[in-house]
A and B are shown apart, each in its own frame.
Chain A
Amino acid sequence: MSRRLRRRVSKKGKEKVVAHSYTEFEEEVSTSEQNGDVNWTCLPDDTVIQLFSCLNYRDRASLASTCKTWRCLSASPCLWNSLDLRAHKCDSAMASSLASRCRNLQKLRFRGAESADAIIFLQARNLRELSGDYCRKITDATLSVIAARHELLECLQLGPDFCERITSDAVKQIAFCCPNLTKLRLSGIRDVQGDAISALGKHCPHLTDVGFLDCLKVDELALGNVASLRFLSVAGTSNVKWGVVSHVWHKLPNLVGLDVSRTDVGPAAVSRLLISSQSLKVLCALNCPVLEGDANFTVPKIKGKSLLAHFTDIFEGIASLFADITSKGKTVFLDWRNSKKTHKSMDEMMSWFEWILSHSLLRSAENNPQGLDDFWLKQGAPLLLILMQSSQEDVQERAATGLATFVVIDDEHASIDRGRAEAVMRDGGIRLLLDLAKSWREGLQSEAAKAIANLSVNVNVAKAVAEEGGIDILASLARSMNRLVAEEAAGGLWNLSVGEEHKGAIAEAGGVKALVDLIFKWSSGGDGVLERAAGALANLAADDKCSMAVALAGGVHALVMLARNCKFEGVQEQAARALANLAAHGDSNGNNAAVGQEVGALEALVQLTRSPHEGVRQEAAGALWNLSFDDRNREAIASAGGVEALVALAQTCSNASPGLQERAAGALWGLSVSEANSVAIGREGGVAPLIALARSDAEDVHETAAGALWNLAFNPGNALRIVEEGGVPALVHLCSSSVSKMARFMAALALAYMFDGRMDEYALVGTSSESTSKIVSLDGSRRMALKHIEAFILMFSDRQAFTTAAASSAPAALAEVTEGARIQEAGHLRCSGAEIGRFISMLKNPSVLKACAAFALLQFTIPGGRHALHHAKLMQNAGAARVLRATAAAATAPLEAKIFARIVLRNLEHHQAESSKGI
């Protein structure tokens, strides 16, 4: 489809057009015309470089591969100032291939120990900043070599994962090798010893910013001697001797900012540091239990000094440090960023704030300690939003991750805190996140997408995301080649597709195709992304139109592939659920049949009903239930061992969730539509567990079980089994007291099949020595059953309406009876010719079964019922009209049977008239 463009026509040479008043007309322009004869390769170099800078590395590589000019420009030093290798496989060969372009590399981000080993092969001797995460396995040797090869290094950060294998030896090496070091932030070192710290103090005269975060031990005394320090963080570090600290660190002559968040610092040390340090401006102590637990602690008020804690106003505290900024409170960060004046020391301090705050907030969000609700709503959420606008990419990422994390209050059930989510939305967070998601930086994309995904659990946020164009953005991120980005985007689409509102928009944005493609792209080794994609497709498949789109995009094949091959339970569950939903649209589309025709689909689903994971069993049974609506699928499921598997499932689900119980019973109900399957179910021992499920208090469970028992009871052998297994009292109970009319109805019909005489013949034929006692006990059961069937019929028979109908043959009177008797959902039931035939014979039964049969046929033929026409035809073929007329006219028949029979006759006439009209 081509875009509609507004294009002005102007012919060269004869224009005298006044600005803003030229004529315009709309014109469809095809793509080839659009391309025109522009020679894009002659764009000025600067602009091409700018174009490159808008793209991620993959797209840059593609663009560079198109022509010589652009290849050459793609190697421009300014595009190789900084490099983020986190998403890329980085080994020595790869690093060597980049070496020629990394000569002037200033900034490098990497991930993991293997990449760390490869860094030296980049030969980036001018590297100034190095930052790595997932560094648990980095060794002293690696870090020492890195330090030795990058003498100009000014900034080194490893974390937030703990650098468990790094010791003070490597820190010493860094001190010896990198004299220009100004910033060193390391996480999770066991013991930072005094000699290493002293070496830093001695060899790195410019070292102003040190962070030993989440370490087990640091030498406080030695830190007190690093006179160059301006900023120091020991956040999360344990075993700090605060007595030593408060008597030593205040002597650090240049110390401006100190971060002691997440430590056991107490009021005494805090007060002393604030009061006695000459230079200290800010002491940050977020999430310090001892300090927060002291009700008597009052913050020392000293001009020009601030304490930042959960119980202080952080924005005010920071704002008060600015002498020349008039703004107060929340705008301080924005005012600082927009301020044209540069003030180096202030800039350093604000950047440091951003960094330590993003760290502490993320940690707090992860641990989610009690009692922070108020803090998050008033300060935490606004701070995270401000930090997302930082110029430091890692701060932005952490803030987005923080947003994704702090709203989640229960991981297990994926529930989020509504107040927090709406606070983010209120402060413009959705727009900010979507902007980050559009960035070319994949680290930002994935974290922003994760936050959008989590927030979208809230319906109001989901609505805002959709309104701000978020669905398009997520759909395009789902196509990302970066697995983490695609995974979070798929998660977003999963959450957005929960309600009905956004399904159409997701399909329109190409989301369905993107999700299906994801499954093929990551079919091996991407459990997280596969689960989310399948989950989203499952939600989408619940919608009729979207389910067509899923099938069209190749979704059936993709999902069956997952159900067959994937070993991860989360994926199996979602794939089965998706297949269940695809097959849930009955005759309205061909997906049900399509799933069954996919090679191995039914076998895989049957296999999944044996999964150790309850969710997987439930969804697989649900899928088989829905699929069994198709005749061919039903028989194929049976030949794939479905009967045995589902009977086994029903036998073992007595303590399972109602969802599983319902689907197990439902699948057996579906299969039992054919008598051969019914017999097999009975033979396999399916009757007893179904009776047990029929005793369930859960409406959905006992209703479904009643349906299955009704089908089973058609077969006399099964009917006898139901009696023997104690099914009569269970069905009688359902028939008289279920809250579900359908359950009552189907229980009554099951009892009717059991006691219309066929079972007795069967019981007699299978004569054994016990046959007499059997028949005796059958008599008792029959009396009980018939009594309750009668009571059931009476529940649906309004006396007054009957009297009126008996007195007059006016259609209105009959209509009133129909209205009183009608069971809405019964319109969905579809009977075979044999079943209809059985009800017709039942009309001749002298007992209450006559009325019951007429009642059933009435339900099955009410005009407007989904299968009413089908039933009417079957009845015509069976010559039902004659029997019905006889019933209606019989002097001895009960009034209900006569009136119901008259209504059925009218229904038949109606259908006959309709179908002849149709011809």
Chain B
Amino acid sequence: MSSSSSSSSPSCPKKMITLKSSDGETFEIEEIAALQSKTLESMIDENCASTPVPLPNITGKILAKVVEYCTKHAEVGADAESLRAWDAEFVSVDHPTLFDYILAANFLEIPTLLNLACQSVADMVKGKTPDEIHKIFNIKSTFTPEEEEELRRENQWAFD
């Protein structure tokens, strides 16, 4: 809820900054929420955020979600348990979206979001064989038989 004003006094209106997605959508975000992004933080520090900040590699669809994430995590007094549930719901998305979350979190340098998204991918990998991982990520093995043998030697220790 961005309309809540319990955390700041009425005499001091919330500072907002504007973000612009690759497809031209604009989004407003509270400065306090934006500070979770190290990229935005340094722009704010250098006074580069008074005009809409262009984010040429994040689509409106993803940026909307990122703004939602930052706003949620800037809320005062959210209890850890419900935030955890919220996060879990947030990353219950299809692969393309998850992939875009990682790119956006990486570009904007939002460590908690990057961690959340990577953990979600890690959970898909856990306990899987290389073949199963190939299927999950839709990738093909390009190793030669010699390389396969090398790989086996290289990784044997982890399986013993």
Contact = CB atoms under 8 A, between A and B. Distances in A.
The B contact surface, by secondary structure, is helix
B114 interface: yes
A12 B22 CA distance: 12
A43 interface: yes
Contacts of A480: 127
Contacts of A22: 64
B125 A36 contact: no
B17 to A, nearest CB: 14
A19 B25 contact: yes
B9 interface: no
Interface in A15-66: 15-17, 19-20, 22, 29, 33-41, 43-44, 46-47, 50-51, 54-55, 57-66
B64 A97 contact: no
Interface residues of A, number: 56
A39 B96 CA distance: 9
Contacts of B142: 67-68
Contact of A59 (B92, B128, B134, B154): B128
9 contacts: A10-B61, A33-B94, A36-B94, A39-B139, A41-B139, A59-B125, A64-B155, A66-B134, A88-B158
A463 interface: no
A98 B157 contact: yes
B99 interface: yes
A88 B160 contact: yes
A885 interface: no
B102 A65 contact: no
A784 interface: no
Interface stretch (A1-9, A251-259, A766-774): A1-9
B61 A8 contact: yes
B133 A63 contact: yes
B121 A51 contact: yes
Contact of A17 (B25, B138, B157, B158): B25
Contacts of A67: 139, 141-142
Contact of A89 (B93, B128, B160): B160
A244 interface: no
B96 A47 contact: no
Interface string B26-37: 011000000000
B136 A35 contact: yes
B139 A34 contact: no
Nearest to B28: A19
Interface of A: 3, 5-8, 10, 12, 15-17, 19-20, 22, 29, 33-41, 43-44, 46-47, 50-51, 54-55, 57-68, 71, 88-90, 94, 97-98, 431, 440, 476, 479-481
Interface of B: 23, 25, 27-28, 60-61, 64, 67-68, 81, 92-97, 99, 102-103, 106, 114-115, 118-119, 121-122, 125-130, 133-134, 136-139, 141-143, 151, 153-160
Contacts of B118: 47, 50-51, 54
Contacts of A71: 151
Which are the 4 A-B pairs with shortest beta-carbon distances? Answer: A54-B122, A61-B155, A61-B158, A89-B160
Contacts of B138: 35, 37-38, 40
Nearest to A64: B155
Nearest to A13: B23
B122 A55 contact: yes
Contacts of B151: 64-65, 71
Given A22-B64, A71-B151, A89-B157, 8 more contacts: A8-B61, A55-B125, A57-B158, A59-B126, A64-B155, A66-B141, A67-B139, A68-B143
A59 B127 contact: yes
A46 B155 contact: no
A198 to B, nearest CB: 40
A19 B64 contact: yes
A479 B23 CA distance: 45
A68 B140 CA distance: 10
Contact of B130 (A16, A43, A50, A65): A65
B112 to A, nearest CB: 12
Contacts of A59: 122, 125-128
Contacts of A33: 94
B96 A66 contact: no
Which residue, of B25, B94, B133, has the highest number of chain A Cβ atoms within 10 A?
Answer: B94
B95 A97 contact: no
A16 B81 CA distance: 35
A15 B60 contact: yes
B133 A97 contact: no
B25 A15 contact: yes
A16 B28 CA distance: 15
A3 B60 contact: no
B137 A94 contact: no
A440 B143 CA distance: 28
Given A7-B94, A29-B94, A43 B102 contact: yes
Contacts of B136: 35
A54 B154 contact: no
A62 to B, nearest CB: 5
Contacts of A68: 142-143
Nearest to B157: A94
Contacts of B114: 47, 50
Contacts of A440: 122
B94 A34 contact: yes
Contacts of A89: 157, 160
Contact of B95 (A19, A20, A38): A38
Contact of B139 (A6, A10, A40, A481): A40
A97 B151 CA distance: 11
Nearest to B59: A10
Given A19-B27, A63-B133, A97-B153, A46 B106 contact: yes
A491 B92 CA distance: 31
B159 A51 contact: no
A68 B154 CA distance: 13
Nearest to B80: A431
Given A50-B118, A88-B157, A66 B25 contact: no
A55 B121 CA distance: 10
Contact of A36 (B68, B96, B127, B133): B96
Given A17-B25, A59-B127, A62-B125, A38 B96 contact: yes
A424 to B, nearest CB: 17
B64 A35 contact: no
A155 to B, nearest CB: 24
Given A20-B68, A58-B159, A5 B93 contact: yes
A670 B19 CA distance: 79
Nearest to B132: A62
B69 to A, nearest CB: 13
Contacts of B156: 94, 97
A97 B130 contact: no
Contact of B154 (A6, A97, A479): A97
A448 to B, nearest CB: 16
Contacts of B133: 62-63, 66
Given A62-B125, A65-B151, A44 B106 contact: yes
